[in-house]
Chain A
Amino acid sequence: MINFKTIKAILIDCALGAYSILVTYKVVYEKLLQDIRYADFSWNEPLLALGIGAVLGLVFFGWEGFSVGKRVMGIYNPPFGQPFIKAPYKFLSLLAIALTFVAGLHYSQVSVYEFLSESGLEGARKIFIALATPNFSIFEETMFAAIETIYMAFIATVFSLPFAFGLSFFAARNLMKANAFWRLLYVVTRFVLNVTRSIEPLVWAIVLSVWVGIGPFAGMLALCVHSVVSLAKLYSEQIETINEGPMEAMIATGAHPIQVIWYGVVPQIILPFLSYTIYKWDINVRMATVIGLVGGGGIGTLLMQYQGLAKWHEVGLIVMVIAFIVWVMDYSSAKIREAIK
């Protein structure tokens, strides 16, 4: 019987087969066994692999002990406790994982030689000593940059609040099921949020530093965009867990939808929202540091400057201050969140 599940199972086998063959040929054979530095690439190779994969998929279709796809889709259900030797699909999936591991080692250029080379170890010794003996003469400069970072993160969180709050109601499934219009609005809101969230704040910082110029403002805006979407997601998930009883009771009194939200929903979510917001500020302080590296201002930018000049004693001090701030923010945000539970 051919149905949607069988087609998916065949596609899985086909893709897995093609992938294994391609990795075996390009990495294991060409790079590791033949040691070809600049291997030729032509699109025929993946196409051929895909062809073999398709043949394998069809062969495994009739030979279900070998079919990973059928097992994954639940079409092939071997008896429980079947010995490993009688389940070739287990070998095949392990083979694919092993191939991925080998290819991963190759592509990350893992090298024990580099890690333990004499000059390398010497460099490491020097930099660790420098980092461990920070230069306190730039303490003031570092402190001011740190203050910039903390306030930047705070403003980003505050600006993002109303937007995230408003959006979260439109992204909560349980509030948006009244009719087709609201369901569509829910889907659109979720889609926009997901797309925006999948763009890292680092990328936003690069884009915005072109727009408003390098500095804390660009960094703040980048954090703000990211905070809006991530808070909206956290908030809306919180809204989805509420008890709908009070909402129903408010509807039954003849209240307007805005009143239903205000009395039936908001009192149930206000504390979790506050808790998420404080957590977000904490995260924003850390992110602000990273964003500073691409010109978002604050202590991150300072770190990048001294790192560029290879002034490792100064870098040591900055790293120390960052660690201290992160620890303080982490500790206090945890305490505050505990207290308002």
Chain B
Amino acid sequence: MNILEVKSLYKTYPNGCQALKDVSFEVAQGEFLVVIGLSGSGKSTLLRCINRIHPASSGQIIFEGQEVTGLKGKELRKLRSQIGMIFQHFNLVPRKSAMVNVLTGVLARVGIMRSVLGLFSKEDQTEAIEKIKIVNLAGKEDVRADNLSGGQQQRVSIARALMQRPKLLLADEPVASLDPATSNSVMQYLEKINKEMGVTVICNLHFLSLVRRYATRVIALKGGEIVFRGTPEQITEEWFKTIYGEDAVEVSVH
């Protein structure tokens, strides 16, 4: 069953920049779909259109059989709460502890007054501690987010996304600001979430070595259009040059 279907999606920014052109693809339940392409090829825009952080200009996005492009207000927030998101720069709330940051994952199901006063229920707190354990940060609950290392911050943001009990996880270049060793460890957590918890993942990546290792399927964007669909093994030297340009040379990360 397809958890997500994107049909001829177009996105034009107010400044006239055309970020996506006629993008269509499906994502099956449980897949680990990786989106590759140069910077500025529309990868980030694509992810942000799926959870409607950016409105699409035209086209359809169907999440679990429901058309979501027209959703507003409460409905829209409900959609977003089912889709976790991980960012290149982690986007944790500064000056707040790792615990509070993980708890922000439940904001959609907590009353506004309660969340403003910081009154999270016992169950939510227990769940947050559990999620922190999953990303191996037990004991770091009370450390301020800005005092954690890059890899640890990204793991907190994974725990925050897990708090949403997501059906779909969007990862926007989750390892682009991390060193190679940490990158691999963060990718392993995403793989674990995908395989053990059955959460579908759509991930933007730069390094082909990581793509080959973690992706179950790949699409490539170039100038806002899909130029390649297939398995990681199908990305040959030739395809690589088509996607990244004639002068590109593959660099690997181990």
Interface residues of A (CB under 8 A from B): 243, 245-246, 248-256, 258-259, 262-264, 267-268, 270-271
- Contact A264 B93, beta carbon cutoff 8 Å: yes
Given A253-B160, A254-B77, verify A246-B107 contact (CB < 8 Å): no
Q: Which of A245, A250, A258 contacts B104 (CB 8 A)?
A: A250
Residue numbers in A under 8 Å from B96 (CB-CB): 263, 267
Q: Which of B58-66, B82-90, B135-143 contacts A (4 or more CB under 8 A)?
A: B82-90
Q: Assess A249 versus B112: contact at CB under 8 Å? Given A254-B164, A263-B104.
A: no
B128 at the interface (CB under 8 A from A): no
Query: A251 vs B108: C-alpha distance in the bound complex, in angstroms?
Result: 10
Closest 3 CB pairs of A and B: A254-B81, A254-B108, A245-B91
Partner of A259, one of B51, B83, B115: B115
Instruction: Indicate if the CB atoms of A245 and B107 lie closer than 8 Å.
Output: no
Q: Check if B107 sits within 8 Å of A259, measured CB to CB.
A: yes
Residues of A within 8 A of B6 (CB): none
Q: What CA separation (Å) do A258 and B77 show in the bound complex?
A: 13
Residues of A within 8 A of B107 (CB): 250, 253-256, 259, 263
Contact partners of A248 in chain B: CB under 8 A:
53, 87, 91
Report chain B residues within 8 Å CB of A258.
112, 116
B interface residues, Cβ below 8 angstroms from A: 51, 53, 77-85, 87, 89-96, 104-105, 107-108, 112, 115-116, 157, 160, 164, 170
Residues in B with CB closer than 8 Å to A267 are: 93-96
Q: How far is the CA of A29 from the CA of B84 in the complex (A)?
A: 78
How many whole Å from A255's CB to the nearest CB in chain B? 4
Q: A258-B112, A259-B107 are in contact. List 9 more A-B contacts (CB 8 A).
A: A245-B89, A248-B91, A249-B92, A250-B93, A250-B104, A251-B80, A252-B53, A252-B170, A253-B160
The answer for the CA separation of A271 and B77 in the assembled complex, in Å, is 30
Contact of B77 among A256, A263, A264, A268 (CB under 8 A): A256
In contact, B85 and A252 (Cβ under 8 angstroms): yes
Distance (Å) between the CB of A271 and the closest chain B CB? 8
Cβ contacts under 8 Å, A250 to chain B: 93, 104, 107
Chain B residues with Cβ below 8 Å from A251 are 53, 80
A260 nearest in chain B by CB position: B107
Which of B79, B91, B115, B116 contacts A249 (CB under 8 A)? B91
CB-CB < 8 A to A243: which residues of B?
94
Residue of B nearest to A177 (CB): B14
Within 8 Å CB of B105, what residues of A? Answer: 253
Q: Which residue on chain A has the smallest CB distance to residue B115?
A: A259
CB distance from B77 to the nearest CB of A (A): 4
Distance (whole angstroms) from the CB of A258 to the closest CB of chain B:
5
In the bound assembly, the distance between CA atoms of A268 and B91 in angstroms comes to: 12
Q: In the bound complex, what is the Cα–Cα distance between A252 and B81 (angstroms)?
A: 7
Chain B nearest Cβ from A182, distance in angstroms: 15
Cα(A256)–Cα(B160), bound, Å: 16
Complex Cα distance A268/B78, Å?
A: 26
> Is there contact, CB below 8 Å, between A246 and B164?
no
Of chain A, the residue at the smallest CB distance from B106 is A253
Q: State in angstroms the CA–CA spacing of A262 and B116 once bound together.
A: 7
- Rounded to whole Å, the gap between the CB of A26 and the closest CB of chain B is 51
Q: Is the beta-carbon distance between A254 and B78 smaller than 8 angstroms?
A: yes
Cα distance, A258 to B110, chains bound together (Å) = 12
B81 touching A259, Cβ below 8 Å = no
CA distance A271 to B94 in the complex (A): 12
Q: List 26 A-B contacts (CB under 8 A).
A: A245-B89, A249-B92, A249-B157, A250-B93, A251-B53, A251-B80, A252-B51, A252-B80, A252-B84, A253-B80, A253-B107, A254-B78, A254-B79, A254-B82, A254-B107, A254-B108, A255-B104, A255-B115, A256-B107, A256-B108, A256-B112, A259-B112, A259-B116, A263-B96, A267-B94, A270-B95
The answer on a CB contact under 8 Å between B77 and A255 is yes
